[in-house]
C-alpha cells in the first residue's frame, strides 16, 4: 500500500503490464495533462501524483470485475477514472463493453478523444445519469461521485437483477455504508485501497430495497 508519490516507472514496476497497454495508459495521461491546462479534469493537487492517485487507484478495480461481465457503466466519469482506464485493460485482456456517463460536454470531448486515440472502444454518454434510459449493465462503477446511499439510488436503473456495484470510497466509507443499509440490503465486500490507507473499495451484490 502506498500513500506516497509514484512515477510512471513506479507504476510500471508495480503493475507489471504488457508494454502495449502501458503505452496506451501513457498516451491517456499525456492527453490528460494537455487538456488539464484548459479544463479542470482532476484537481491540480492530485495531477502531480497522477500515477498513484488516479491511475493505480482506478486500476485496482480491474481484478474485481466479474469474469462473465458483458457491460460496465461508469457513472460521473469525469476524466475517465476508473471507467476509461478499465476500457484500456479490457482492450488488451478482453472484457466487457464500457459506457461512460458524464454530464459535462467538455469532459465528454476529452473522454472521446482519449478513447479514439487509444482505440479503447468506450461509449461516451453526454448526459446526466438521470437522463439515461434503457441501459442495463452487469457492473456499475463510480469514483468520488456521491455518498453511497445516493450512489445506490442512481445505480438502480442500470441493475438487471444481478448487477455488481463497485465504488471507490474514502474515509467515510463505513459511515456511508451504515446509512445505506438503513434502506438497502446487500452483500458487501470491502477491499482496502492500495493507494490510500483510509480509502476502501466497496463491492456490492444482491442490492435490494429493504421492505
Residues sharing a CB contact under 8 Å with residue 62, sequence separation 6 or more, in sequence order: 86, 89
Pick from 46, 13, 12: which is nearest to 32 by CA? 46
Report CA 17 to chain centroid distance, whole Å.
19
- pLDDT tens figures, 162-178: 999 999 999 999 999 99
Q: Where are the domains of the chain?
A: 8-209
pLDDT band at 156 (very low <50, low <70, confident <90, very high): very high
- pLDDT tens figures, 110-147: 999 999 999 999 999 999 999 999 999 999 999 989 99
pTM of structure: 0.94
Which residue do the cell numbers 470485475 mark? 65
Q: Which fold has domain 8-209?
A: Rossmann fold (3.40.50)
Report CA 7 to chain centroid distance, whole Å.
21
The secondary structure of residue 122, as a DSSP letter, is P
Taking the CA atoms of 132, 133, 134 and 136 in sequence, report the sign of the dihedral they define. Answer: positive
Count of CB atoms situated within 10 Å of the CB of 7: 12
Burial (Cβ within 10 Å: 0-12, 13-18, ≥19) of residue 58: buried
Amino acid at each position: 500500500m502506498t500513500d506516497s508519490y509514484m512515477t510512471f516507472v513506479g507504476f510500471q514496476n508495480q503493475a507489471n503490464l504488457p508494454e502495449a497497454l502501458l503505452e496506451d495508459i501513457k498516451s491517456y495521461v499525456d492527453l490528460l495533462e494537455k487538456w488539464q491546462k484548459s479544463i479542470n479534469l482532476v484537481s491540480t493537487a492530485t495531477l502531480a501524483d497522477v500515477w498513484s492517485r488516479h491511475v493505480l487507484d482506478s486500476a485496482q478495480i480491474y481484478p474485481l470485475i466479474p469474469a462473465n461481465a458483458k457491460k460496465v457503466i461508469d457513472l460521473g466519469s469525469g476524466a475517465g477514472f476508473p471507467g476509461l482506464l478499465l476500457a484500456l485493460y479490457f482492450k488488451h485482456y478482453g472484457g466487457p463493453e464500457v459506457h461512460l456517463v458524464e454530464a459535462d460536454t467538455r469532459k465528454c470531448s476529452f473522454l472521446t478523444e482519449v478513447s479514439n486515440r487509444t482505440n479503447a472502444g468506450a461509449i461516451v454518454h453526454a448526459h446526466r445519469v438521470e437522463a439515461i434510459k434503457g441501459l442495463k449493465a452487469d457492473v456499475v462503477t463510480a469514483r468520488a461521485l456521491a455518498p453511497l446511499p445516493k450512489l445506490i439510488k442512481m445505480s438502480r436503473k442500470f441493475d438487471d437483477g444481478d448487477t455488481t456495484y463497485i465504488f471507490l470510497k474514502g474515509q467515510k466509507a463505513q459511515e456511508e455504508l451504515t446509512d445505506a443499509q438503513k434502506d438497502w440490503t446487500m452483500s458487501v465486500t470491502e477491499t482496502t485501497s492500495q493507494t490510500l490507507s483510509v480509502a476502501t473499495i466497496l463491492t456490492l451484490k444482491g442490492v435490494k430495497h429493504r421492505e
